[in-house]
């Protein structure tokens, strides 16, 4: 329970259906470091207050050290290496649906239920992860690392709702405090949305001046760190060329940012690593050496026709039928077949 309307509504719905419900909230940061979002002290207070109103037990679990090891370290490392991280995927994989799931089961729960917008279906003992009915709220892009065991122990009650508005309507009908609470946005540990300020606040993170060049190698300006840029970025480049310019690539070893015209951003191949599959049968690299899929390269990206060519059990070349704009190392590429999530991996390189 984050104290927000989604998880609060889930708890109330399940209790109303007759389930025995326990509320559990993660503390991921020192409260003095969390200004807002699901990591703040206020969120814990809201979750506890709602639990009291629902008359359910409430626990707070401390995963500050684990969050630093699994999520924050990767976040910093990726930005320093010129990549654009997705902390929510790692938090789901290693904290929420590993550590928290284990803790919930230790408390005697049969399932861990969350407010994620996704669906779980089971047939003949095989579990599938499917898109939410309301695709505008679908969160399966951040959940592709879930496997058979995790899916067998999870519940996503909101995935079948037609519209997010139904959640707020249900919350109002049940008299829940967070019914009017705005949705959290951005990275939970940098709720202001300015990840650059967050990175600069870290003692182990250092700025380093480098060059901004065009695709011909001509120097157009300078920067104070490659962490301030991401592929496809137009604003905040600090250069004047008389025409729109976009970040086309980041070269961390040279501490250089390359910019160019928009058409340079379109590519049709990428290398992905650390690939995982929802269905364990897909883990056989030989069986699925080549697989036709719909692939997404970012959460708000429309899935496009692609072929996954496995190079090993965990690495692949993903080739799109049509060129994609701003494929970004550090982001995830997630594979779909219709509404079903097959799996995914991390974008290592654009080729």
**Is the model's pLDDT at 34 over the cut of 90?**
no
What CATH code is assigned to 5-180? 3.40.50.620
Confidence (pLDDT) at 163: 79
Query: pLDDT for 247-266, tens place per residue?
Result: 999 999 999 999 999 999 99
Q: What percent of the chain has pLDDT over 90?
A: 74
Location of structure tokens 């690939």: 275
**Is the model's pLDDT at 241 over the cut of 80?**
yes
Rounded Cα distance between 213 and 227, Å, is 16
Confidence (pLDDT) at 201: 76
**Protein fold of 266-350:** Elongation Factor Tu (Ef-tu); domain 3 (2.40.30)
Are 248 and 216 contacting, i.e. CB atoms less than 8 angstroms apart?
no
**Is the model's pLDDT at 10 over the cut of 90?**
yes
Confidence (pLDDT) at 166: 83
Confidence class for position 42, pLDDT limits 50, 70, 90: confident
User: Given this chain, do its domains 207-260 and 266-350 carry the same CATH topology?
Assistant: no
Query: pLDDT for 125-168, tens place per residue?
Result: 999 999 999 999 999 999 999 999 999 999 999 999 877 788 88
Query: pLDDT for 276-321, tens place per residue?
Result: 999 975 554 455 578 999 999 999 999 999 999 999 989 999 999 9
Give the right CATH number for 207-260 from 3.30.450.20, 2.60.40.420, 2.30.30.280, 3.40.50.2000: 2.30.30.280
DSSP-assigned beta bridge partners for residue 166: none
Confidence class for position 172, pLDDT limits 50, 70, 90: confident
Are 82 and 252 contacting, i.e. CB atoms less than 8 angstroms apart?
yes
Location of structure tokens 């959640």: 167
Active site residues: 91, 188
Question: What are the b/e assignments for 15-51, b being 16+ CB within 10 Å?
Answer: eeeeeebbbbbbbbbeeeebbbbbbbeebbebbbebb
Q: Could you give phi then psi for residue 303, rounded to 5 degrees?
A: -60, 135
- Taking the chain, what is the end-to-end CA distance rounded to the nearest angstrom? 41
What would the two tokens of residue 261 be?
A: 């015209």
Confidence (pLDDT) at 15: 95
Are 197 and 191 contacting, i.e. CB atoms less than 8 angstroms apart?
no
- The interaxial angle of helices 165-173 and 5-16, nearest 10 deg, is 60
Confidence class for position 184, pLDDT limits 50, 70, 90: low
Closest CA to 330 of 67, 76, 86: 86
User: 9-23, 199-213, 214-228, 266-280 — which is least confidently predicted?
Assistant: 199-213
What would the two tokens of residue 134 be?
A: 């309301």
**Is the model's pLDDT at 212 over the cut of 90?**
yes
Q: How far is CA 329 from CA 86, 127, 266, 270, 271, in A?
A: 11, 30, 14, 9, 9
Per-residue pLDDT, averaged over 78-84, amounts to: 92
What pTM, to 2 d.p., does this model score? 0.91
Confidence (pLDDT) at 255: 94
Closest CA to 154 of 97, 103, 106: 97
| Residues in Cβ contact with 235 at an 8 Å cutoff, skipping those fewer than 6 apart | none
Confidence class for position 204, pLDDT limits 50, 70, 90: low
What value, to the nearest 5°, has the Cα angle with vertex 63 and ends 188 and 46? 55
Confidence (pLDDT) at 170: 79
Per-residue pLDDT, averaged over 320-339, amounts to: 97
**Is the model's pLDDT at 64 over the cut of 60?**
yes
Confidence (pLDDT) at 178: 63
Domain range annotation of the chain: 5-180, 207-260, 266-350
Rounded Cα distance between 57 and 54, Å, is 9
**Is the model's pLDDT at 339 over the cut of 80?**
yes
285 vs 97, residue with greater confidence:
97
């Amino acid at each position: 329970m984050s104290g927000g309307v989604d998880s609060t509504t889930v708890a109330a719905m399940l209790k109303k259906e007759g389930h025995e419900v326990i509320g559990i909230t993660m503390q991921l940061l020192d409260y003095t470091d969390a200004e807002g979002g699901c990591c703040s002290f206020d969120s814990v207070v809201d979750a506890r207050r709602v639990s009291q109103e629902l008359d359910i037990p409430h626990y707070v679990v401390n995963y500050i050290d684990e969050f630093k090891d699994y999520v924050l370290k990767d976040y910093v490392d990726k930005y320093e290496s010129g990549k654009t991280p997705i902390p929510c995927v790692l938090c789901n994989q290693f904290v929420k649906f590993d550590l928290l799931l284990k803790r919930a089961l230790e408390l005697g729960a049969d399932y861990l239920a969350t407010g994620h917008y996704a669906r779980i279906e089971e047939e003949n003992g095989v579990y599938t992860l499917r898109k939410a009915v309301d695709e505008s709220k679908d969160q399966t892009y951040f959940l592709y690392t879930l496997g058979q065991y995790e899916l067998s122990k999870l519940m996503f009650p909101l995935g079948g709702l037609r519209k997010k508005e139904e959640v707020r309507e249900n919350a109002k009908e049940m008299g829940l405090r967070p019914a009017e609470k705005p949705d959290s946005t951005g990275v939970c540990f940098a709720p202001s949305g300015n990840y650059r300020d967050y990175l600069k606040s870290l003692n182990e993170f250092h700025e380093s001046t480098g060059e901004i060049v065009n695709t011909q190698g001509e120097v157009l300006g300078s920067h104070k760190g490659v962490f301030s840029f991401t592929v496809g970025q137009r604003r905040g480049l600090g250069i004047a060329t008389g025409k729109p310019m976009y970040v086309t690539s980041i070269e961390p070893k040279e501490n250089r940012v390359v910019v160019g015209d928009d058409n340079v951003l379109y590519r049709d191949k990428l290398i992905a690593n650390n690939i995982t599959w929802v269905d364990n049968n897909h883990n056989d690299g030989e069986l699925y050496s080549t697989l036709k899929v719909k692939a997404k390269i970012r959460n708000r990206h429309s899935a496009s026709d692609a072929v996954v060519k496995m190079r090993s059990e965990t690495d692949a070349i993903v080739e799109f039928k049509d060129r994609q704009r701003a494929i970004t190392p550090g982001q995830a590429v997630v594979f779909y077949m219709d509404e079903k999530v097959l799996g995914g991996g991390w974008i290592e390189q654009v080729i």
